[in-house]
Structure 1
Amino acid sequence: MYTNVSPFEYAGAALERMKPGVFLTASAEGRSNTMIIGWGGPLMIWNRPMMVVFIRDIRATYGLVEKSGEFTVSVPLRDGLEEAIKFCGTRSGRDVDKFAACHLTPVPGRKVGAPIIGECDLHYECKVLYKQTLDQSAVPQAIKDRFYANPVNNANHTVYFADILDCYVDGRVR
C-alpha cells in the first residue's frame, strides 16, 4: 500500500540515493525500460514541483522518454537493490530485459503510462514540461575531461524538467 507524500518530504533521502543511483523508467509503444540515473532530483522551478533528470541520447530509455513525454523515478530508501542498480546501470535495455534479469516488478503508474519499480520505496511520476540538450562547448574543461572524455560518455545529455504529477512511498517506510 502506498501513501501520498509531498514531493519534497523525502527529497533529501532521494538526493542521497542519487550517488549510487535511482531507477528512471519509461514506456512507449508497448515497451518499457528502466535505467539508472545519478544526476538530478526534485526541485521547485517556476513555482511548481519538478523533477530534473539528465539522460544521454544514446540510452535506450532516452527514446522512450522522447516518444512518451513521461517517466517515473523510483528510489530505494533501504538497502537491498545494489546489484540491480549495478546491472541496470551497465546494461542496455536494447540487449536485455532488465526487469526479468534483476527480478524487478514493474507496477503500473497511477498517473503516467510508465511503471514504477515495485521493490523501491519512493516514487515520482513525471510529465516532461521542458527539455534542453546540454551544450558541451559551455561545460568547463575539467568536467568535460571527467564525464565526456571517452566516445561512449561523449554522447549529449538532455536535461528534462518534468512536472511531478504524483509522489508516494511504500507504507512500510512511514
Structure 2
Amino acid sequence: MKKVDFNQVLNDYNEVLPKGVFLTTKAKGEVNTMTMGWGTAGFIWNQNILMAPVRKSRYTHQLIENSEFFTVSVPLNGQLKKELQFCGTKSGRDYNKVEELNLELGEVEECNVPIIKGNDLHFICKIKYQQDMVKENLAEDILENKYPDKDMHTFYYAEVAAVYQEE
C-alpha cells in the first residue's frame, strides 16, 4: 500500500459512497465493520474531514463511542459486493463479520483500527467531533422518509489522518 493525498481521491470516494463502503472500528479488542452509504468528505477547521453517520441502534455505534478512530475502506471497482451486502444487513451483535466473511484485516501505523484489505482506498480517521441528531431540527419530509422508526444517527466528524491506496 502507498499513502496518497486526500484531495486526489476525494472524487472517487464521493462517487462510490452511495454504493457502499466499509466503516470499521475497534474497541476493547473487538473489531466490527458495517456498510456505510451516507457521509461526506471535505475541509473543516483547516483539516481534511470525513463525516460518518452511524445509527444509534447499530452495534458499530456502541464500539465507535469507545474509540478515537475508525477506518473507511472503499471498493472503487465493484469488488466485495456480497460482503458489503452482508455487512449492511447483519449486526455485529449476532455475527463476527470478519470471520463469517473471511475478511482480511490490515494494520496501519496511525491507529489500532484495521482496514479491510481488498479495497482500493483506505481512510484513517481520527474523531474530532460528534453530534447526535435532534429530530426536532430535521425537516419533516426527511424525518418521515428516512427515520420512520426515529432511529437517529450520530454524526462523527473525523480528521483524515492518512489515505492509503492498495497497489
TM-score, length basis structure 1: 0.92
- Output aligned runs, 1:1-174, within 5 Å: 2-149=1-148, 151=149, 154-171=150-167
AA of the residue aligned to 2:12: A
Percent sequence identity over aligned pairs? 35
CA contact (8 A) 1:8 1:42 kept: no
CA contact (8 A) 1:11 1:41 kept: no
- How far apart, CA to CA, are the structure 2 residues paired with 1:11 and 1:51? 10
1:131-159 deviations in Å (ceiling 9; x for gaps): 1111111111111111101x3xx222111
SS of residue matched to 1:67: coil
- Unaligned runs of 5+ residues in structure 2 are none
- How far apart, CA to CA, are the structure 2 residues paired with 1:109 and 1:139? 37
- RMSD (Å) for aligned C-alpha atoms: 1.0
Offset at residue 33 of structure 1 (A): 0.1
SS of residue matched to 2:144: helix
TM-score, length basis structure 2: 0.96
* Count of aligned residue pairs for this structure pair: 167
The structure 1 segments of at least 4 consecutive aligned residues displaced by more than 4 Å after TM superposition are none
Offset at residue 120 of structure 1 (A): 0.7
- Unaligned runs of 5+ residues in structure 1 are none
Offset at residue 18 of structure 1 (A): 1.1
CA contact (8 A) 2:79 2:119 kept: no
CA contact (8 A) 2:55 2:153 kept: yes
SS of residue matched to 2:6: coil
CA contact (8 A) 1:14 1:41 kept: no
- How far apart, CA to CA, are the structure 2 residues paired with 1:95 and 1:44? 37
CA contact (8 A) 1:130 1:161 kept: yes
